[in-house]
Amino acid sequence: MELHARYGGVVPELASRQHLEAMVPVLDEALERAGCTLREIDAVAVTTGPGLAGALLVGANAAKAIAYARGLPLVAVNHLEGHVYAAWLADGPFGEEAPAPRFPALCLIVSGGHTDLVLMTGHGRYRRLGETADDAAGEAFDKVARLMGLGFPGGPAIERLADGIAPAPRLPRAKLRRPYDFSFSGLKTKVLRLVRGQEGPVPPLPELAAAFQDAVVDALVTKTLAAARDHAAAEVIMVGGVAANTALRRALTERSPLPVRIPRPALCTDNGAMIAACGWRRLRAGQAAPLDADVRPGLRIG
Ligand code: KG4
Ligand code: ZN
């Protein structure tokens, strides 16, 4: 984060170099914290997409090396599906002891690269109902934070600035032809014009940050709940980095007539536990990957 903050966002070449440097230390630390060694590991799950090709390659090759050297099965995991499985991670051991999913589940996957509304009808079964027409919600947080001169990542910076502040002015909600699609670039442009004083006196930044957050939260919650109602969902799931946002968590929980599952904040942003949880499911379903499995930077869900 510190390195990328200097450039205001993730720089692909730096990201893959950092992955390479961090791989062995992170692996060692994870094993140490888990109190086990590679000898006790039964399988290796790894993200093969979507994402930056360079970073994906570093992870996939490390995973293949471990799987090959120790004769373990390799499991290829879709990063977005990994986010979804964070919803059923209990604090204790996962698997049979985790809360059972209720299908169909309406999933909002909301991160730096994605804003997808997906109907999950069973394990590994997804139907994409909607997506963003332009920026992802997290990307909008990052861009708006940048034009307000706040740090990277933008989501937590905006959340801190907006904490306890009444939103003003009211910002427009995008109207789209497809009912479950999102659009955040118009909102970003509106904030830009306000910050540059092109629409009169510049509003105080905390109020503007609150207004921006309010508009994003409202769009996400309104469409998610409409999709859940229209598809007779049994529960609503919200995952991905932006799902760590307190205002969003509160609004979805308060407004939903259905049970809502949101991972605790540490499990919302990219993490290894979610990939392990999803990989474990895949493995049990007999879906190990060959050792020559490729990375898929443009992989989607549903
Ligand atoms: O899932 P994630 O860790 O990485 C991707 O797969 O993109 O999500 C990162 C995104 C960033 O855009 C970041 O600004 C946003 O999640 N984010 C937040 C918050 N924490 C992280 N957005 C709003 N409020 C937060 N508290
Ligand atoms: Zn992610």
Ligand nearest to the CA of residue 138, numbered in listed order: 1
* Residues 50-95 pLDDT 10s: 999 999 999 999 999 999 999 999 999 999 999 999 998 876 555 5
205-230 vs 185-195: helix axis angle to the nearest 10?
A: 170
The 10s digit of each residue's pLDDT in 164-202 is: 999 999 999 998 999 999 999 999 999 999 999 999 999
Contact between 116 and 105 (Cβ < 8 Å): no
Average pLDDT over residues 119-141: 97
The predicted-structure confidence for 203-217, as pLDDT tens digits, reads as follows: 999 999 999 999 999
Q: List Cα–Cα distances, 245 to 19, 112, 238, 268, in angstroms.
A: 26, 13, 11, 9
pTM: 0.95
* CA-51 nearest atom, ligand 1: 6
Counting atoms of ligand 1 from 1, which one is nearest the CA of 113?
A: 7
Q: pLDDT confidence of 1, banded at 50, 70, 90?
A: confident
pLDDT tens-place string over residues 25-52: 999 999 999 999 999 999 999 999 999 9
Rounded to whole angstroms, the Cα distance separating 163 from 274 reads 28
pLDDT grade, residue 96 (50/70/90)?
low
- CA dist 121 and 232 (Å) reads 11
Query: For the purposes of burial, counting CB atoms within 10 Å of the CB of 129, is it exposed (0-12), middle (13-18) or buried (19 or more)?
Result: buried
Q: Which amino acid is at 279?
A: G
Ligand nearest to the CA of 115: 1
Q: Is the CB of 141 under 6 A from ligand 1?
A: yes
